[in-house]
Chain A
């Protein structure tokens, strides 16, 4: 499309405004993170990368990040396997009530955490599961299965029917057809599901807060919120902690951004 030079200039201006508006708050966090943490530091210059080391120790971020990694891995692995299998069934097989059942899964995408955390907190406490990895992970596994099943069903439905039929004729059962024929082709779809599930689980705040009431099993965002409550004046250390919490997802985003954007654009919502 041919447009005037003025319009091209306006486009660059708009992009610049947009970029600055987005990057401003992020830059503020980064600048604050290396700024003097107290009056004594301020005498010794403006650049204090040692804040990261101090925050790591004082804020116990090593422990929180380890908890976040365990929870994320557990949720991603279990929900992805369950979603692939269920998506395969919904996408390629005929069975009774499949239509209704699929809508039951689909509805789960919109169910907010607020609708499930109260009984989960009190019931899992009865089983001694609060303040454990499973207490924090299981509700998120269920939420991720709602999205994952919807996502994988769409993939398997779009997979060429001839491929499945050819495998059948070659004598492959449904299990071998899935593993040897369909899954190798499903890598992009599975990657998108995995990165989205990872992001949602890593960033989740309400569920860890409700499922680990005494704080024995704190994920990184939970730890950061707690750190803020304790060190009200130490904004530099708080910002350094915030960098630890945000960085893992931002790094994965930098590498696999196409998958994040594609997944979110295709109507992905999490409860």
Chain B
């Protein structure tokens, strides 16, 4: 036997037993109606039909896509502009700034959720700040507000992702040869032209990585919702991850929970593939 298999064995056994096999079991469970203890009955694709038919579950996927905007799209736009501006001039303190703006990535999401609850609370920092500047009429219990709760959760995602995206894009911009900028300036290009015709095309690969990372993170949002809103008010902020947990462990609808989990996984893989396909094509065209 090839010696390679001996080296592979520990990883393969653990990976197969606690990741591959459970995926297969989740798919299997998603085809059954099971309450977690009594006998399961085979129902075919009924659980999947319910994912599409149930207004609440459909809405949870809708919320996840709203979060994609706040976790991925908005940070990428902000990060592009910030990275471009910061890359133009060598300023003092950039190294320490990089360490600070990356910080939200290393703090436990549960802790982040606790911090932002204090900000959004009825007597919290946001409302107090609004009152201090004479905008007290705008104050509201943000996380209890039917229109604003999801946006409030989303903006926490923007806070988490923007630093990562900016640092990622800055490292991409730093690899652009200086001559390209100099040549563009000789042609009379201003900062805006420089941004659209040099920087953005050159960091396509970094944009792809940034979008992949942040989109996956947004679709998997669980901790923030669990700690900040429990899906409320009503079901305004519930997301697929939270539905998986609720259905499978709290409401005894294990099959339905598994179907939501499989659907979420499929969406993550499809989106990651589309983003990378677009990124690849963009690189070839260059």
Contact = CB atoms under 8 A, between A and B. Distances in A.
> Do A and B truly interact?
yes
A22 B261 contact: no
Interface in A171-230: 174, 199, 202-203, 205-206, 209-210, 213, 220-222, 224-225, 228
Given A203-B109, A205-B222, A250-B107, A15 B97 contact: yes
- The interface centre, meaning the residue of A11, A138, A145, A261 with most chain B CB atoms within 10 A of its CB, is A11
Contact of A93 (B2, B213, B223): B2
B102 A112 contact: no
B213 A114 contact: no
B248 A142 contact: no
A88 B97 contact: no
A222 B227 CA distance: 10
Contact of A86 (B7, B26, B240): B7
Contacts of A209: 226, 245
B149 interface: no
Given A142-B18, A221-B110, A224-B114, A14 B181 contact: no
B150 interface: no
A118 B4 CA distance: 33
A25 B115 contact: yes
Interface string B176-195: 00100100000000000000
Interface string B149-169: 000000000010001101110
A249 B227 contact: no
A11 B257 contact: no
A51 to B, nearest CB: 14
A242 B111 contact: yes
A123 B115 CA distance: 36
A121 B18 contact: no
B66 interface: no
A154 interface: no
Interface in B74-119: 82, 85-86, 88-91, 93-94, 97-112, 114-116, 118-119
Contacts of B216: 110, 112, 269
Contacts of B167: 261, 265
Nearest to A173: B3
A86 B12 contact: yes
B10 A114 contact: no
A144 to B, nearest CB: 10
Main secondary structure on B side of the interface with A: helix
A12 B91 contact: yes
Contacts of A220: 108
B237 to A, nearest CB: 16
Given A228-B227, A257-B99, A81 B10 contact: yes
B19 interface: yes
A15 B91 contact: yes
Contact of A225 (B12, B226, B244): B226
Nearest to A81: B10
A1 interface: yes
A123 B28 CA distance: 13
15 contacts: A3-B89, A8-B89, A11-B86, A28-B119, A29-B118, A81-B10, A86-B12, A108-B20, A111-B265, A113-B220, A116-B19, A119-B22, A145-B19, A146-B19, A225-B110
Interface of A: 1, 3, 7-8, 10-12, 14-15, 18-19, 21-23, 25-26, 28-29, 32, 78-79, 81-83, 85-86, 88-90, 93-96, 98, 101, 104-105, 107-108, 110-123, 138-139, 141-143, 145-146, 148-149, 174, 199, 202-203, 205-206, 209-210, 213, 220-222, 224-225, 228, 235, 238-239, 242, 245-246, 249-250, 253, 257, 260-261, 264-265, 267, 269
